[in-house]
A and B are shown apart, each in its own frame.
Chain A
Amino acid sequence: MSIEDPGKSPRREFLKQAAALAGAAAVAGTVAAVESRAAGAPAETAPFEGYEFFGPDEAAFVEALVNVMCPADQYTPNGVDCGLATFFDRQLGGAFGQGKGRYLRGPWNQGPPEMGLQSPLTPAQFFKVGLNAANEVSMQRHSKPFEQLSPAQANLLLHDIQDEHVNTDSVSLGSWFNSLVYPLFVQACFSDPMYGGNYNKVFWKMLGYPGLPATHALDMVQYRGKPYPQAGNPKSILDFS
């Protein structure tokens, strides 16, 4: 993917070409399937299901983001192969992205951080605003969009954003990252694979979280203070559906 090979974004290039054709999303899966993976990473790759919410440019940004935050290594495949970008897409395109349960009436005033976000934007809208702003910063720094940065450049930029060292006029990128992007990243890694991330329960295996059904009345005594044998073989909601 792009960060292994700075300067090019295979899926993005492909999607641009394919955009003229009907059914781009349907065939895009084959591209994902043949993308390179770091040597030694667990072999399984989340099937690419197409994006509901992201356009090709946004998808390229998010894919680069999750691959920087979750590089392929001895623990997991890269973020895209773990399904993390799919998780972002589904959450932002769904009820969460539309602001379900969030109070969105005015008046609007910026308050101290402890008051939580005081923005009239839904999470989906806010995500896009921040994404564009982050890309602008990337253009200013490197004359390249975010997904074309080297992993080291991208990582540094994300750290600067996290630490609120990057300012733009339109949006607080720090709060964008810390209150929206980072929580989505963590949720993508650790929620049930049913939501598209944590493909093949790879993050649960990494932790040793056994998942379902969790009827532990006997285990509680038998494995108190001992390694839990099923920890490496977790079960998810999907496995019981």
Chain B
Amino acid sequence: MAKTLPKRSVVIVGGGLTAGLVARQLTAQNIDVLVLERGVDHRHGAESRLPTQRDELRWSTRQGLMQDWSVQPYSLRHNRRDPSYPIRWMSAFLPGEGMGGAANHWNGQSWRWSEYDPAIRTRYESRYGKAFIPANMPLRDWGVSYAQMEPYHDLFEKLFGVAGQAGNLRGTIQPGGNPFEGPRSNEYPQKPLEITEAGSIFKSAAQSLGFKPFPGPAANSTGAYTNPDGQKLGQCQYCGHCERFICEAQAKGTPEVLLYPMLLQRKSFEIRLRAHVLGVNYDAQAKRATGVRYVDLVTGKEYVQPADVVVLGAFTMTNTRLLLLDGIGKPYDPGTQTGVVGRNFCYQTLSGVDVFFKDRWINPFLASGGTTTVIDEFNNDNFDHSGLGFLGGGSIGASVTNGRPIASRAVPAGTPRWGTEWKAANAAWYAHAFNVWAQGSCYPDRENFLDLDHAYTDAYGQPLLRMTFDFRDNEVKMSHWVTQKIGAIAKAMRPDIMGSVEGLKPSFDTRVYQTTHVTGGTPMGADPAHSVVSPHLQHWDAQNLFVVGASVYPHNSGFNPTGPLAALALRLGDDLISYAKRPRML
């Protein structure tokens, strides 16, 4: 029998980025917060120290910091009619584990999305008419506006020392920044990162075609930085070990550096590590969450942790799965188009073109996770979609983030995969090539969703979360179109060799890393018939249950996802302060 522990005010499932941001707001007001995190504290291990931090095989290839697939994988089928398979070693996306979550080993590319992203349906309908959005695309407004999120974007950028070049300062377009940016109340807190050689080549080519390239915003610290909480970042060393690694120089904005050490000093904060949450206890009659169940991974004992308020901040996949496991909210049924939990599951649509220059020194190892040079002309609805036959788009850029030799070696097509010729090609091109790439949006499709897979169980005997997902017609057309734009820019660079210009094609391949930008499953919105949580992230069927993270996005944009979800987490923290004083539907 599970032992029942004393009740706590706010219990947060997952101890990653969103949990840390929510807890920052609450504990500043002395509100009691308990975080339950399945992983460990990475701060003193080999992953956070030189020389062992710089180990590509251990941390990247063997996924040393990631979710353990032997404990908990996901299953996949590309279509509803297909059988599903458990992904036994997932490479496509890599949820994290441990105090700080995946945001400890992120690249730090730190975007705000377009001003119209939270009102995406309205945007397309008002520009192209009601009939423009296809019936199989449940694109929805979020019920929150960019203006409401802006102060929290601003706060997050200051907390994480984001480096960048403003493009739109209080409505005035700034030279050198992104002219498509939503209005910002302040400059970025730090100046942009140094541009890479690849970035310079991209920049000239993009400018020659009339585009406006700018440095991608990054939580990689350009200098020594102290945030408004007095937490410090060191200077980025451009070591090329960002994504999938913990920054031993503490120069990357991460929860493990900027949030948890501070929170651990606060009396009203507690984090329990190696606590794997199995479910949310739900009183369907009262429409309340009463607490959560977890296993203590040190003793193997199971506990019930009662709570006044439960927050799910355990990343897209766990957030959705916990609601499905305990039957909180109606599961989405694609056949009848009813139900909500699991719907609007989206990913990211990537494509790119390799370019090779005999006489240019790209030196890919001189880079950080955030050294990107980008244009926004072809993202989302920044261009006219009339007659194109698809919605969405992508940011395009030169994104050289590392030269780690196992994975980061481009060779021209047709190079043999081993032997002397293979070595010759690697020797010739390693320092002289890069990829011009697009990070494309992924809009929801009726047939892309999450549910439980009762054919397979995890190490705790619970059914796996099943993805029914593929890149559908809209994304394939969009990717083809955007990739032609990449091709034009690549051509303008006059490379000695250029790779093929092909958009992303189905089927979704779990063997290749794409991005850890899986979104949706618990979408937010103003209408309970199409959303799991309200615009304040409050569950429609359990007033004291809140969900935060990319799982609340009704669509995925052509940017990395963390900026808006961080802003929403900070806003949720403030909402919960108000809720704690007077519990109600917010």
A: residues with CB less than 8 A from B are: 68-71, 73-76, 96, 99-105, 107, 109, 111-118, 155, 158, 162, 179, 182-183, 185-187, 190-192, 194-195, 203-204, 206-217, 219-221, 223-228, 231, 237, 239-241
**Segment of B234-242, B382-390, B391-399 engaged in the interface with chain A:** B234-242
Q: CA of A147 to CA of B76 in the docked complex: distance in angstroms?
A: 40
Asked whether A207 lies within 8 Å of B70 as measured between CB atoms, the reply is no
With both chains docked as a complex, state the minimum distance between the C-beta of A90 and any C-beta of chain B, in angstroms.
Answer: 11
- Is B63 part of the contact surface with A, judged by Cβ < 8 Å? yes
Interchain CB contact (< 8 A) of A220 among B69, B87, B194, B361:
B194
Q: CA of A209 to CA of B237 in the docked complex: distance in angstroms?
A: 16
Asked whether A115 lies within 8 Å of B87 as measured between CB atoms, the reply is yes
* Chain B contact residue count (CB 8 A cutoff): 65
- Is B128 part of the contact surface with A, judged by Cβ < 8 Å? no
Q: CA of A165 to CA of B50 in the docked complex: distance in angstroms?
A: 45
Nearest B residue to A191 by beta-carbon distance? Answer: B57
Given contacts A69-B419, A214-B240, A237-B55, contact A116 B90 (CB under 8 A): yes
Asked whether A103 lies within 8 Å of B86 as measured between CB atoms, the reply is yes
Residue of A104, A113, A204, A209 ringed by the most chain B CB atoms within 10 A: A209
Interchain CB contact (< 8 A) of A71 among B83, B365, B420:
B420
What secondary structure prevails in chain B residues at the interface with A? loop
With both chains docked as a complex, state the minimum distance between the C-beta of B317 and any C-beta of chain A, in angstroms.
Answer: 14
- Is B496 part of the contact surface with A, judged by Cβ < 8 Å? no
With both chains docked as a complex, state the minimum distance between the C-beta of A79 and any C-beta of chain B, in angstroms.
Answer: 9
Which residues of chain B in 345-360 are interfacial with respect to chain A, using CB atoms and an 8 Å cutoff?
A: 360
With both chains docked as a complex, state the minimum distance between the C-beta of A67 and any C-beta of chain B, in angstroms.
Answer: 11
Q: CA of A225 to CA of B51 in the docked complex: distance in angstroms?
A: 27
Nearest A residue to B405 by beta-carbon distance? Answer: A190
Asked whether A69 lies within 8 Å of B418 as measured between CB atoms, the reply is yes
Q: CA of A206 to CA of B57 in the docked complex: distance in angstroms?
A: 19
Asked whether B236 lies within 8 Å of A103 as measured between CB atoms, the reply is no
- Is B62 part of the contact surface with A, judged by Cβ < 8 Å? yes
Asked whether B418 lies within 8 Å of A101 as measured between CB atoms, the reply is no
B: residues with CB less than 8 A from A are: 50-52, 54-57, 61-63, 68-70, 73, 76, 78, 83, 85-91, 194-197, 200, 235-241, 249, 360-361, 363, 365-367, 403, 405-406, 409, 417-420, 423-424, 426-427, 430-431, 455-457, 507-511
Asked whether A228 lies within 8 Å of B361 as measured between CB atoms, the reply is yes
Nearest A residue to B406 by beta-carbon distance? Answer: A190
Contacts of A71 in B (CB 8 A): 419-420
Asked whether B427 lies within 8 Å of A207 as measured between CB atoms, the reply is yes
Contacts of B361 in A (CB 8 A): 223, 225-228
Residue of A105, A195, A210, A223 ringed by the most chain B CB atoms within 10 A: A105
Q: CA of A103 to CA of B76 in the docked complex: distance in angstroms?
A: 14
Given contacts A192-B56, A206-B426, A224-B196, contact A117 B363 (CB under 8 A): no
Nearest A residue to B424 by beta-carbon distance? Answer: A75
Q: CA of A226 to CA of B70 in the docked complex: distance in angstroms?
A: 45
Asked whether B427 lies within 8 Å of A115 as measured between CB atoms, the reply is no
Q: CA of A112 to CA of B85 in the docked complex: distance in angstroms?
A: 9
Residue of B87, B241, B366, B431 ringed by the most chain A CB atoms within 10 A: B366
Interchain CB contact (< 8 A) of B406 among A99, A100, A186:
A186
Asked whether A206 lies within 8 Å of B70 as measured between CB atoms, the reply is no
Contacts of B54 in A (CB 8 A): 192, 211-214, 237
- List the 8 closest A-B pairs by CB distance, nearest first: A214-B239, A240-B51, A191-B57, A69-B418, A190-B405, A111-B85, A115-B85, A207-B430
